[in-house]
Chains A and B, each alone.
With several copies, the nearest count.
Chain A
Amino acid sequence: MSQMNMIQAIRSAHDIMLEKDPSVVAFGQDIGYFGGVFRCTDGLQQKYGEHRVIDAPIAEGGIVATAIGLGINGLRPVVEIQFADYIYPGFDQIVSELSRLRYRSAGDFFAPVTIRTPCGGGIRGGQTHSQSPEGIFTHLSGVKTVMVSNPYDAKGLLISAIESNDPVVFFEPKRIYNGPFDGDPDKPAVSWASHPKGEVPDDYYTVPLGKAEVVEEGEDLTIITYGTIVHVAQAAAKRAGVDAEIIDVRTLMPLDVDTIRDSVNKTGRAMVAHEATRFCGYGAELVATIQKECFWHLEAPISRITGWDTPYPHAFEWQYFPVQKRLADGIRKLMEVA
């Protein structure tokens, strides 16, 4: 066990898999000699060589496409897209090729590509360094989508993703790379040192794809969320003085419906929260699923607390972000519904 922040945990997952499986290669912009702009692969090229940890040209589409080719040839590429905001040039290769390769070839061809990418705001990155585009990936048939919320899960889920023969799009909220963030921008930053999920085994372990986690048990209402907002929700529930059950979805697709259904059927009230824009965001699917599965148990409309339906504005970052106060208000309101 070591204290790790999320960057170290992700680096450790790479390290273990590069060591364990000679077919694993890391590939992306600035990830080789330099170790990545967020340092997630720092030192790994030096350790495993230039043929295992490879600097790529600035062409997200080309990176995904060649990674598919590597995958077809028996390698297991772990791709970094420098910011989720820059994944779109690779979108066609993900939608039209990576996600449908196994299906269209009746299982003969597949490419076990993992695409890691930092997402989310709260770092004054403005509209092109803050996006959370998970909702357009979860709509695809044939890729799994993950968003992590802490170092322990990040390492365990990343190892699972790399080992999976299905393609995985793996979102890493950059705001919590160095420490959890409780959604109060006025408080000083904290580190992972004081968080139980900052305790990370040094060795190989996995967290399974497709399983949500109940991070707080509670009776009054259920908050279903993922990524940075997991921490915001925990703080907001405390602030609102409500005994909330909080679910970290972790794998967004395929969704662990059972965990969510059981919880909402128990509490009768549900809030869905994420940082991405609201309209047709991932939260819509959560709401649709819950209303279907838990209809007869719901005591109030399911509420959604999300980023607004605008680009992520630089100056209004904390007005855009679903901050602790906004969630706390929402929790109180949801509890007031008679």
Chain B
Amino acid sequence: MTKKPKLHIPQPTARPGEEPDFSYLNLSEAGAVERPATDARAKSIEFLAESLVRVLDDDHVAQGPWKPDLDEDTLIEALRLMVLTRVYDDRMQRVQRQGKISFYMQALGEEAVSIGQGLAFGPEDMLFPAYRNQGLYIMRNTGLVDMMCQCLSNSRDMCKGRQMPIFYQNKENNLFTISGNLATQFPQAVGWAMGAAIKGDDHIAASWLGDGSTAEADFHYALTFASVYHAPVVLNVINNQWAISTFQGVAGGERRSFAARGLGLGIPGIRVDGNDLLAVYAVTRWAVERARSGGGPTLIELVTYRGGAHSTSDDPTRYRPRNEWAAFPLGDPVERLKQHLIKNGSWSEDRHAEMETELKTTVEAAWKEAVSYGTMTEPPFLDVRLAFEDVFEEMPEHLEKQRDKLLRIRGELP
């Protein structure tokens, strides 16, 4: 090969040792983006996919037509849930470092996505979360102890020891089980929504995936089927700028926003400041109303930043500047909502510090309780028979035999 290669290779704006550079982010002023009616024609609202819906301005004041109608209590509760998510993450990250659980993934910096969006759905709307949506489980009352027991694969594990940490579920509260396979739940949510429409129900579905995951086939299936059947579904791309080591350009983000992906199928896209809880809520609520009233699917891109490592198996200092998060122009979602509430006079640094302490205590107490149900290395353990159950509704003979063989090897059967 003597000729000069000319394949375009996407390049992040900064690598370790370089200055962070977010000039590529197309930002709008808070309050600047028009809010169309929820029944606006898809074609007429394409601008929403390119601009960035923001409510909170740099002075933490809510601005413009997307400013949602959320009362003080709700906002304080939202702040509490975001902080709780962060405190929970922090605790779990640390117990992983101590070897108590095998793996963990934080949502650091992305808390407004789950909490802000979660507020916009009705309790019977079915949510298909991705692995960084722990906030959805927390806000839908999954119970910290239950979530911790899942991560511990202990005797009270909701998954009966079958899943790695963080793969929660909450059937009662209409939260689907998380998959380790990226994007697979996206078209499933569309199918669920189609089912609701077939049954004549008013419920809608929603799902989440990351910027990197949009390259998967399931993203395309979801958009295509949602478009064809006009399914009542809210599809969300969490653009936290990074997949694992590859920046969002490797998924096509260099050329158009992720919110634009469905335009060619007639699916409205909205790009929103993912670190602005008010904007996140407002945009999601818009999409929820649209879907529920027969307006079909919406694709929302939440622009945010992955504040931590991809997972406890990852070391981001190898591929991005250490201080990138600090330089991220959309800031920290917790800090922004907190300052907004302080500005409004509904909150204070003291109350915040108090709440943080309280939540740390809550999480600490939950952890104490959770480990009392066992850990991977300390009893009580799950009964090993469970490894053979739920493969099918009823256990077939060959699995009974395999189970008994294992029990014999373990000396638990003669």
Contact = CB atoms under 8 A, between A and B. Distances in A.
Do A and B touch (CB < 8 Å)?
yes
Interface of A: 22-23, 25, 29-30, 32-34, 37, 49-51, 54-62, 65-75, 85-86, 89, 92-93, 96-97, 101-110, 124-129, 141-142, 144, 164-166, 210, 254-255, 257, 278-279, 308-311, 313-316, 319-320, 325-326, 329
Given A51-B7, A85-B180, A96-B179, A127 B162 contact: yes
Contact of B184 (A93, A107, A125, A166): A93
B162 to A, nearest CB: 5
Interface of B: 1, 5, 7, 9-10, 15, 102-103, 126, 153, 157-164, 167, 169, 171, 176-177, 179-182, 184, 186-196, 198-199, 205, 212-213, 215-218, 220-222, 224-225, 228, 243-246, 250-252, 313-314, 318-319, 376, 381-382, 384, 386-393, 396-399, 402-403, 406, 409-410
Nearest to A126: B164
B170 to A, nearest CB: 9
B250 A142 contact: no
A257 B154 CA distance: 36
B214 to A, nearest CB: 8
Nearest to B178: A104
Given A102-B392, A313-B387, A126 B169 contact: no
Contacts of B10: 55
A105 B169 contact: yes
Contact of A69 (B9, B191, B215, B376): B191
Given A58-B182, A257-B398, 6 more contacts: A34-B319, A55-B250, A58-B215, A66-B225, A73-B196, A107-B389
B181 A279 contact: no
Nearest to A23: B1
Contacts of B402: 278, 308-310
A97 B188 contact: yes
Contacts of B221: 59, 61-62, 65-66
A32 to B, nearest CB: 8
Contacts of A144: 392
Nearest to A86: B181
A75 B197 CA distance: 12
Contacts of B7: 51
B195 A106 contact: no
A37 B188 contact: no
Contacts of A329: 409
B126 A73 contact: yes
A34 B225 contact: no
B161 A105 contact: no
B332 to A, nearest CB: 26
B102 A314 contact: yes
Given A102-B392, A315-B153, A66 B180 contact: no
A114 B147 CA distance: 33
A73 B190 CA distance: 11
B169 A34 contact: no
Contacts of A74: 195, 199
29 contacts: A29-B244, A34-B244, A37-B244, A51-B198, A57-B251, A57-B252, A62-B215, A66-B191, A69-B187, A73-B192, A73-B199, A86-B181, A96-B179, A97-B188, A102-B393, A104-B179, A108-B169, A108-B177, A127-B163, A254-B396, A257-B398, A310-B388, A313-B161, A314-B153, A315-B153, A315-B161, A316-B161, A316-B384, A329-B409
